[in-house]
Chain A
Amino acid sequence: MNPKLDKSKRECIHNPELRLQLQIIDVIVALVFIGLCILALANYHAIKEAITLEIEGYGLAGLLVMSFILEFVPQFINPHWGLLVAIAAGFNIYLSTLVVIIGGIIGSLVGFNVGQKYGFQFICAIFNPKTLKKIVEGWNKYGGIFVLVSALTPVQYGLLFSEHWA
């Protein structure tokens, strides 16, 4: 067992009032996220155009920042689109790919560290101990597969291709 997880378990505070407040905030955040996803779908062309303009305007530095942000913040669009735009805009293929890889790795690692530091306390406050135990067991067993699928998720390709098929 990971010693950090054990330490987090000791720090776990089961406060029903706090849990209720966090659940309300969670529902609000989920609704905002769903709203943003709908907005992103509705304004898909505008967002693509904005990303294209940013990459063309700021060059590889913009690509680096964009890939960092898109990997750090869990959301709808992956940095692959930025890479495609950069290559289509005439940037060096090897440099663009390298910059997106560096930005993506840094963003993923920062996100991982934030989750490792605050994630357990957060879900600890939201779920009751029984559910929490199931989540931790499931995550320890299948977590690698979830992370792998999220790294290779074909959502963005599906959107890209469905747009061309439409």
Chain B
Amino acid sequence: MSRRKFLIWGIIPRIISYCTVGALAALGIGFL
């Protein structure tokens, strides 16, 4: 697997995943 393919399939989804968890946690704290 090339580095470019890893960046597209591995890194970008991770960033989206962390941002989603951060946003959900922020929303959760907002509701609490």
- Enumerate chain A interface residues (CB-CB to B < 8 A): 2, 71, 79-80, 83-84, 87-88, 93-94, 96-97, 100-101, 104-105, 108-109, 112, 116, 139-140, 143-145, 147-148, 150-152
State the CA gap A71–B6 with chains docked (Å): 14
Indicate if the CB atoms of A104 and B14 lie closer than 8 Å: yes
Could you pull out 8 A-B pairs where Cβ atoms are within 8 angstroms?
A: A83-B22, A84-B25, A101-B14, A116-B3, A143-B9, A144-B5, A147-B6, A151-B11
Indicate if the CB atoms of A152 and B5 lie closer than 8 Å: no
The dominant DSSP class at the B interface is helix
- Enumerate chain B interface residues (CB-CB to A < 8 A): 1-3, 5-6, 8-11, 13-15, 17-19, 21-22, 25-26, 29
Q: With A108-B11, A112-B10 in contact, do A143 and B1 touch (Cβ < 8 Å)?
A: yes
State the CA gap A84–B27 with chains docked (Å): 12
Indicate if the CB atoms of B21 and A80 lie closer than 8 Å: yes
Indicate if the CB atoms of B13 and A80 lie closer than 8 Å: no
Indicate if the CB atoms of A105 and B21 lie closer than 8 Å: no
Indicate if the CB atoms of A144 and B9 lie closer than 8 Å: yes
State the CA gap A59–B25 with chains docked (Å): 18
State the CA gap A126–B31 with chains docked (Å): 52
From B10, B15, B21, contact of A147 by CB (8 A): B10
Closest residue to A115 on the B side, CB-wise? B1
Enumerate chain B residues within 8 angstroms of A148, measured Cβ to Cβ. 9-10, 13
Indicate if the CB atoms of A147 and B1 lie closer than 8 Å: yes
